[in-house]
């Protein structure tokens, strides 16, 4: 099973939930941090890293001697990563998305595959039991989805060996990386809080993920703060609320100290145990309604 823990905005408790969920998971599990721009799941789970590799993207390398400056590559590249101006051809590897199209259309064979470093994929184990896989985007690298793909591929390969499930900590928001992070999931767990900002961004995330047609469920963090009607919204849209985490200074302190709430606060462990049980029974989680009603 692959479960993605996501949120419409940062700071809602998504990583707190992902870390505790991995901690109490009742089957072999790999925690996967797909927030490759700012990974922090490892700061809570504190794995012993056992492997790492550099992830790269295939970018074109030009052979000046062969280039006839026909312009076919520039015409094809929708990312403007190659430009031909008269007898000058310029390549911008940092703008390349690695589609390989220019190499395929070059009539002179003047482009060969080169490599751009994206960052690192790292993996290890927590307490010898929980696997962890994460990515760390290279400083200055703007394109995170290819590294995310490398992380999820590595996690799948490792999990397959152990027969493990994946708990993905997705990047916050509704942009391309967030959508990509939840795409492999069997269930998306949206973490939100009943504040105006939290509710607003939760609805955006829900709407953004709806076209994927994945089952979704909700965890309300700091549930006794704010007055937004998250439950009413969820009822109308067939979104089960699987857990409510109360506003508790000890949880905030555990987070600030970089510890796992389910491990640090035994009295809160039950909550995550129940959440894990609910998620593992996700067959009962209804599909989201296909459209967001205007009154929602």
Which residue ranges make up the site for ligand SF4 (CB under 6 A)? 59-60, 62, 67-73, 76-77, 79, 81-82, 84, 89, 96-102, 106, 108, 110-111
In the complex, what is the shortest distance from the CB of residue 182 to ligand SF4, in angstroms, rounded to a whole number? 25
Query: 55 to each of 136, 137, 147, 271, how far by Cα in Å?
Result: 10, 9, 6, 37
**What SS3 class is residue 126?**
strand
In the complex, what is the shortest distance from the CB of residue 70 to ligand SF4, in angstroms, rounded to a whole number? 4
In the complex, what is the shortest distance from the CB of residue 269 to ligand SF4, in angstroms, rounded to a whole number? 48
Name the DSSP class of 237: T
- Shorter beta-carbon distance to ligand SF4: residue 70 or 210: 70
In the complex, what is the shortest distance from the CB of residue 97 to ligand SF4, in angstroms, rounded to a whole number? 4
CA gap 166, 285 in Å, rounded = 18
- Shorter beta-carbon distance to ligand SF4: residue 64 or 284: 64
- Shorter beta-carbon distance to ligand SF4: residue 94 or 162: 94
Task: Look at residues 197, 257, 252 and name the one whose alpha carbon lies nearest to residue 222.
Answer: 252
- Shorter beta-carbon distance to ligand SF4: residue 62 or 239: 62
CA gap 272, 278 in Å, rounded = 10
- Shorter beta-carbon distance to ligand SF4: residue 176 or 289: 176
Residue 64, burial from CB neighbour count under 10 angstroms (0-12, 13-18, 19+): exposed
- Shorter beta-carbon distance to ligand SF4: residue 82 or 121: 82
In the complex, what is the shortest distance from the CB of residue 147 to ligand SF4, in angstroms, rounded to a whole number? 16
**What SS3 class is residue 229?**
coil
Residues 89 and 62 sit within 8 Å (Cβ to Cβ): yes
In the complex, what is the shortest distance from the CB of residue 161 to ligand SF4, in angstroms, rounded to a whole number? 33
Residues 169 and 41 sit within 8 Å (Cβ to Cβ): yes
Query: 105 to each of 60, 63, 79, 102, how far by Cα in Å?
Result: 12, 15, 16, 5
């Amino acid at each position: 099973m692959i479960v993605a823990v996501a949120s419409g905005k940062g700071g809602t408790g998504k990583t707190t939930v992902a870390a505790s969920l991995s901690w109490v998971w009742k089957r072999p599990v790999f925690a996967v941090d797909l927030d490759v721009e700012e990974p922090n799941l490892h700061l809570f789970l504190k794995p012993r890293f056992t492997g790492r590799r550099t992830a790269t993207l295939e970018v074109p390398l030009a052979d000046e001697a062969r280039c006839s400056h026909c312009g076919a590559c520039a015409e094809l590249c929708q990312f403007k990563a190659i430009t031909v101006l008269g007898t000058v051809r310029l390549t911008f590897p940092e703008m390349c998305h690695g589609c390989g199209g220019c190499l395929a259309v070059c009539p002179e064979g003047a482009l060969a595959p080169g490599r751009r470093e994206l960052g690192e994929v790292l993996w290890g184990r927590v307490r010898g039991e929980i696997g962890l896989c994460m990515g760390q985007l290279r400083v200055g690298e703007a394109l995170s989805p290819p590294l995310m793909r490398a992380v999820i591929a590595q996690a799948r390969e490792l999990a397959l060996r152990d027969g493990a499930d994946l708990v993905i900590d997705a990047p916050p928001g509704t942009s391309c990386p967030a959508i990509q992070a939840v795409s492999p999931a069997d269930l998306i767990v949206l973490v939100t809080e009943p504040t105006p900002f939290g509710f607003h961004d939760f609805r955006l995330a829900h709407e953004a993920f709806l076209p994927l047609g994945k089952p979704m469920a909700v965890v309300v963090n700091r549930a006794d703060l704010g007055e937004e009607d998250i439950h009413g919204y969820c009822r109308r849209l067939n979104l089960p609320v699987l857990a409510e985490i109360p506003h508790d200074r000890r949880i905030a302190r555990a987070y600030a100290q970089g510890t796992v709430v389910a491990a640090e606060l035994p009295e809160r462990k039950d909550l995550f145990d129940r959440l894990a049980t609910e998620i593992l029974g996700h067959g009962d989680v209804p599909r989201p309604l296909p459209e967001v009603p205007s009154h929602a």
